[in-house]
Amino acid sequence: MSKIAFLGAGMMGQPMIRNFLRGGHAVTVYNRTLEKARPLQELGAVLAATPKEAASGADVIMSSLTNDDASRASWSGPDGALQADLKAGAFAVESSTVSLQWVSKLSELAMARGLRFLDCPVAGRPDVAEAGQLKVFAGGSAEDVDAIRPVFESISKAVMHVGGVGSGISFKLIYNVMGAIQVAACAEGMHACEAAGIDLAVAAEGFSTGATGSPHVVRHSAYMAENKHEDPVQFSGRMRIKDVTYGISLIESVGAQSVLGHATNKVFGQMVDNGMGDLNDSELIDTLRLVHGKGRDGS
Ligand SMILES: NC(=O)c1ccc[n+]([C@@H]2O[C@H](COP(=O)([O-])OP(=O)(O)OC[C@H]3O[C@@H](n4cnc5c(N)ncnc54)[C@H](OP(=O)(O)O)[C@@H]3O)[C@@H](O)[C@H]2O)c1
């Protein structure tokens, strides 16, 4: 069993930590707001005041944090994990959805401290994380990915080795741009149905059972039809913009295009403009109603 330092006890971090504890690992947790991590203490986690304290002597240092700024502060800030008394050959694992640029820099910093670096962003919402069923897109050497697999057994049954360092986050960003496009398309399609006088329950059933029925469309069209969204918020409009912005930057840096990515950020930007950026991404339909002169419930 491994000694794991986990940075970030948010909606994704908490279920991952619980599963590592269930798997018999020793877990030390750092969360910027310490109080939010308190319930994990009762399950056997040790709480640390700084990432540096958490990472000292760990076999695996893993993070699940909002964005580049949060990751930078937690890994390379003054009290960051990379300032710790590190165990030679330990793993540094970034599982947050951050930019390729930052992952490249972080991998250099971690390797310079003698760590083995893997970018391992995850796919699946908090309920999937709780069930230990996340998909992991791993970037790193085949040897390192194989070495970390037994630890990841606790959080995932599907660790996909994408390629070398940076390829896990590259794939995840492209995957999330495609996902965000589908959610935006679902909101536009459902809103257009409503405007055309089509019952939204009928529309959701039609989209979900036809060729349009990706898991995103199945899930989100149901929330939109019921006008009932996840509580607490699972993935916000603002987080969609974060992912798509990093994704577009990557896609364009490799000489490809993201016309649909730009359009998707424009519609999620309308959520932010309407003061709804921190609501569930499925509430994009409410923003479209407001933009087109209706009430949030379509009336
Ligand atoms: N939610 C999903 O469905 C989902 C699915 C797959 C991947 N992801 C990715 O997983 C990562 C975590 O997402 P989440 O849903 O768990 O978000 P979350 O619940 O908002 O948690 C974010 C975490 O980042 C910390 N944080 C934010 N800014 C910080 C800063 N400047 N310095 C240090 N810590 C900071 C927060 O600490 P505080 O508690 O102090 O705020 C919290 O621990 C993100 O990269 C997200 O894109 C999310």
Active-site residue flag, 172: yes
Residue of 64, 95, 125, 229 to mutate, ligand 1, most atoms within 8 A of C-beta: 64
Give the atom of ligand 1 at the shortest distance from the alpha carbon of 121. 7
Tell whether 271 and 142 lie within a shared domain.
Answer: no
- Helix, strand, or coil here: 60? strand
Lowest mean pLDDT among 95-99, 165-169, 171-175, 228-232: 228-232
- Helix, strand, or coil here: 69? helix
Q: Per the omega criterion (within 30 degrees of 0), is the bond before 232 cis? A: yes
Distances (CA, A) of 18 to 24, 120, 158, 221: 10, 18, 18, 31
> How far is residue 271's CA from residue 279's CA, in Å, rounded to a whole number?
9
Looking at the chain, which runs of residues are DSSP E strands?
3-7, 26-30, 46-48, 60-63, 91-94, 116-119, 122-123, 134-139, 156-163
Which of the residues 172, 228, 242, 294 is marked catalytic? 172
- Both tokens of 286, joined, read 């409410």
- Helix, strand, or coil here: 126? helix
Q: How far is CA 200 from the centre of its chain?
A: 29
Among residues 141, 164, 187, the one where a domain terminates is 164
Burial tier of 177 (Cβ tally within 10 Å: 0-12, 13-18, 19+): buried
pLDDT at 140: 98
Tell whether 124 and 252 lie within a shared domain.
Answer: no
Which residue is closest in CA terms to ligand 1's atom 30?
70
Pocket of ligand 1 (CB under 6 A): 8-13, 31-33, 36, 64-66, 69-70, 73-74, 96-97, 122, 125-126, 234-235, 239
Put residue 165 in one of left, alpha, beta given phi > 0 → left and psi -120 to 50 → alpha.
beta
Residue of 32, 66, 230 to mutate, ligand 1, most atoms within 8 A of C-beta: 66
How many A from CA of 132 to the centre of ligand 1? 18
Across the range 58-83, mean pLDDT stands at 98
- Both tokens of 90, joined, read 């330990």
> How far is residue 159's CA from residue 153's CA, in Å, rounded to a whole number?
9
To the nearest whole percent, how much of the chain has pLDDT over 90? 98
Q: Which letter does DSSP use for residue 229 in this model?
A: -
Element (H, E) at 128: helix 126-130
How many A from CA of 8 to the centre of ligand 1? 7
Residue 218 covered by a domain: yes
DSSP line for 156-168: EEEEEEEESTTHH
Beta bridge partners of 215: none
Q: Which letter does DSSP use for residue 253 in this model?
A: H
> How far is residue 91's CA from residue 107's CA, in Å, rounded to a whole number?
11
Residue 254 covered by a domain: yes
> How far is residue 3's CA from residue 81's CA, in Å, rounded to a whole number?
14
CATH number where 31 lies: 3.40.50.720
Residue 56 covered by a domain: yes
- Both tokens of 193, joined, read 């149905």
Tell whether 20 and 118 lie within a shared domain.
Answer: yes
Tell whether 185 and 117 lie within a shared domain.
Answer: no
Q: Is the pLDDT of residue 297 over 90?
A: no
Q: Which letter does DSSP use for residue 93 in this model?
A: E
Residue 297 covered by a domain: no
Among residues 112, 145, 164, the one where a domain terminates is 164
Residues 121-154 have pLDDT tens digits of 999 999 999 999 999 999 999 999 999 999 999 9
Tell whether 37 and 184 lie within a shared domain.
Answer: no
- Both tokens of 222, joined, read 């149901």
Tell whether 127 and 186 lie within a shared domain.
Answer: no
Tell whether 188 and 139 lie within a shared domain.
Answer: no
Residues 6-38 have pLDDT tens digits of 999 999 999 999 999 999 999 999 999 999 999
pLDDT at 299: 86
Number of domains in the chain: 2
How many A from CA of 70 to the centre of ligand 1? 8
How many A from CA of 31 to the centre of ligand 1? 10
* Domain carrying residue 38: 3-164
Among residues 135, 164, 193, the one where a domain terminates is 164
pLDDT at 32: 98
Burial tier of 184 (Cβ tally within 10 Å: 0-12, 13-18, 19+): buried
Tell whether 96 and 204 lie within a shared domain.
Answer: no
How many A from CA of 226 to the centre of ligand 1? 28
Which residue is closest in CA terms to ligand 1's atom 33?
70
Mean pLDDT of the chain: 97
Tell whether 209 and 180 lie within a shared domain.
Answer: yes
Tell whether 58 and 92 lie within a shared domain.
Answer: yes
